[in-house]
Every structure is written in C-alpha cells, then in structure tokens.
Amino acid sequence: MTGHYLLDQDWGAYDATDHAVWRRLFDAQSRLLPGRADAPFLDGLARIAGDGARIPRFEDANRLLKPATGFELVAVNGLVPDQVFFALLAERRFPVTRWIRRPAQLDYIQEPDLFHDFFGHVPLLGLPVFADFMQAYGAAGRAAGAAGALRHLARLYWYTVEFGLIETDAGLRIYGAGIVSSKGETVFSLDDPSPNRIGFDRARVMATDYRIDDYQQTYFVIDGYETLFHALDGDLAPVYAALANRPALAPDAVVQGDRVRARGTQAYARAKHAA
Ligand code: HBI
Ligand code: FE
C-alpha cells in the first residue's frame, strides 16, 4: 500500500527559483546552526547535503545513506497517512516531500516541504542509533494503531524527532528537524526564557499535547540518542493502557516528578507570527 504514495523526485522539474529558495535557506541555517545543533546533525549535513548550491538529488543521498544505515529516501507529495508513514519507516525508507516552498513562505510554512524534510530529517538518518530508533518507531506504529494509541506515539515523535533537544558536554543542543529547519525556532528553543525545558521521560512525553502552529511551550531534553532507542523497548501496550485513563497534559504544563532543566516564564508572545 505504500507504493501508491511514492513518486519520482523529478529533479529536472525544479526551476531556478526552487534552487534559489533551497540555497537561501541552506546558507542561512548553515550559518546559524554551528554551536546550536548537535554535532552528529552537523556532521550528517556536511556529508549528505553537499554545498547547498542546488537541491540535492535523493539518489545521491541514497548512495551515502544505504551503506551507512540501510535507510533510503523516497519522494512523496507531502504528508502520507499514519500507517503508510509507519510502514515506510519500518522498512528503513524515509518519505521526503519533493516540492519546496515558494519565496513568500521563506520564514514559515505549516506543512513539511522538501527543505524541512531533507535539511531537517535526513542528516541524522546516517547515525546508526538514530536510524535504528526511526525503524523501531515505524515498527511500533503498526502495534500502536491496533491499540488505538497513535496519538501517544505521535507525541513521542513530535517532542523528539521534530522538536527534541539533547544535553551534551558542550551544553544544550538541538537535534529536532522542526527546529533546525526554522530560523526563528533555532534561536527560540535554546535562548528564550519562555518555554519549559524538561528531562525526557517516555510516559510524560506520550501524555503531553502539542500544537503545530507556533513555537513549542515545552522542549524535552534527552541525554543521548540511546535513550530514544530504549524508549521503544519492550511491550508498549501497558504504557498505552496507563495513559488511556489519564487526561492529556497541556503543552505548557510542569508537573510533579518533572526533571525541570528550566521552568519557562510562559511570557509567551506568539513568537512565530511576530517574526
Ligand atoms: N507523512 N510524509 C510524511 N512525513 C511525516 O513526518 C509524517 C507523515 N504522516 C504522519 C506523520 N508524519 C505523523 O502523524 C507521525 O507521528 C505518524
Ligand atoms: Fe518532520
């Protein structure tokens, strides 16, 4: 069923404006991220995305990714149904949107485009432990669907793969694709006093709602990518069952038991739209 959603990248169809948008975003983020993004992300970016002069060819990236972690990129037209997304990840295939935003959307776009998917997600797919987590996440999706627990798994993805922070010897660093692909949130997530920054805990993250139209009010911090991988260890059914009876936590909540690294002021202007 996944095949139905897969397309050719059709690299020849990109016009000069598309390549210019890629180059503009690539250069801006490449200047901003050193000292903010985690080293494995920066290393992966340097290896896989080239010099940023033009939109990369998925087939070129696959020649590097496949031998490294078995992952390959497949071109899609945008979000695919959850079960298709899980099935692709379980087979170590990552769906990359083949169209790129227009110049008017340079600073913010709601749905994932090629820049978000390739620049944000692809560099870490070359890191074995992260690739193993992504494959395990896909495999967990099938079972979660049957358990009616997709929202819990979606929250885990959201607060890690999309908007995760990691504690390193050099300090707090970004690894979430939604942050590294956003100029404003790259700065906000590390420097702004308004969001909470709380130690990652599987059940806590799975219980916490999120919003998709503004910067996050809470960022969860892992101490290593192995923590992500082990978050999917064992049978998740009891975890889902325990969560099913609890009301969801609000995105700005701080609760008993949280390992609070920084409690946000929540003096929270709608930063993204103010940018
Ligand atoms: N489809 N192409 C694409 N990319 C995603 O990141 C994606 C998706 N479908 C569903 C989805 N993500 C999330 O709902 C996951 O949590 C399942
Ligand atoms: Fe994404």
pLDDT digits (tens, 9 = 90+) for 131-184: 999 999 999 998 898 888 999 999 999 999 999 999 999 999 999 999 999 999
Protein residue with least CA distance to atom 10, ligand 1: 82
Helix and strand numbers, DSSP H then E, in the chain? 13, 7
- Mean pLDDT for the stretch of residues 103-126: 94
CB atoms within 10 A of CB 233: 9
Q: What is the pLDDT of residues 40-65, one digit of tens each?
A: 999 999 999 999 999 999 999 999 99
Among 80, 85, 181, say which to mutate for ligand 1: greatest number of ligand atoms within 8 Å of CB: 85
Protein residue with least CA distance to atom 15, ligand 1: 154
Per the model's pLDDT, the better-predicted residue between 48 and 107 turns out to be 48
As a whole-number percent, the residues of the chain with pLDDT over 70 amount to: 97
- Mean pLDDT for the stretch of residues 113-121: 98
Q: What are the backbone dihedrals phi and psi of residue 255, each rounded to the nearest 5 degrees, phi first?
A: -125, 165
Q: How far from 96 is each of 19, 44, 177, 261, 266, CA to CA, in Å? A: 16, 16, 13, 33, 34
d(CA 173, ligand 1 centre) in Å: 24
The contacts of residue 184 (CB under 8 Å, 6+ apart) are 107, 108, 215, 271, 272, 275
d(CA 19, ligand 2 centre) in Å: 21
Rounded-to-integer distance, Cα 186 and Cα 30, Å: 11
Confidence bin at 222 (pLDDT 50/70/90): very high
Question: Hey, which residues are catalytic here?
Answer: 116, 121, 162, 181
> Residue 196, class by beta-carbon neighbours within 10 Å (0-12 exposed, 13-18 middle, 19+ buried)?
buried
Which residue, chain included where needed, has tokens 């692709």? 88
Q: Does position 84 have pLDDT exceeding 60, yes or no?
A: yes
Protein residue with least CA distance to atom 17, ligand 1: 82
- Mean pLDDT for the stretch of residues 91-114: 94
Task: With beta carbons less than 8 A apart as the criterion, state whether 83 and 14 touch.
Answer: no
Protein residue with least CA distance to atom 5, ligand 1: 79
d(CA 109, ligand 2 centre) in Å: 12
CB atoms within 10 A of CB 108: 15
pLDDT at 274: 46
Q: How far from 209 is each of 147, 152, 205, 236, CA to CA, in Å? A: 19, 9, 8, 19
Rounded-to-integer distance, Cα 5 and Cα 19, Å: 24
* Order of all β-strands in the sheet with 171-174: 171-174, 165-168, 218-222, 196-199, 260-262
Among 20-34, 42-56, 254-268, the minimum mean pLDDT is found in: 254-268
Among 1, 80, 83, say which to mutate for ligand 1: greatest number of ligand atoms within 8 Å of CB: 80
Q: Largest alpha-carbon pair distance within the chain?
A: 54
pLDDT at 85: 96
Q: What are the backbone dihedrals phi and psi of residue 29, each rounded to the nearest 5 degrees, phi first?
A: -75, -35
Check pocket membership of 91 for ligand 1, CB cut-off 6 A.
Answer: no
pLDDT at 268: 64
Check pocket membership of 166 for ligand 1, CB cut-off 6 A.
Answer: no
Q: Does position 275 have pLDDT exceeding 80, yes or no?
A: no
pLDDT at 76: 98
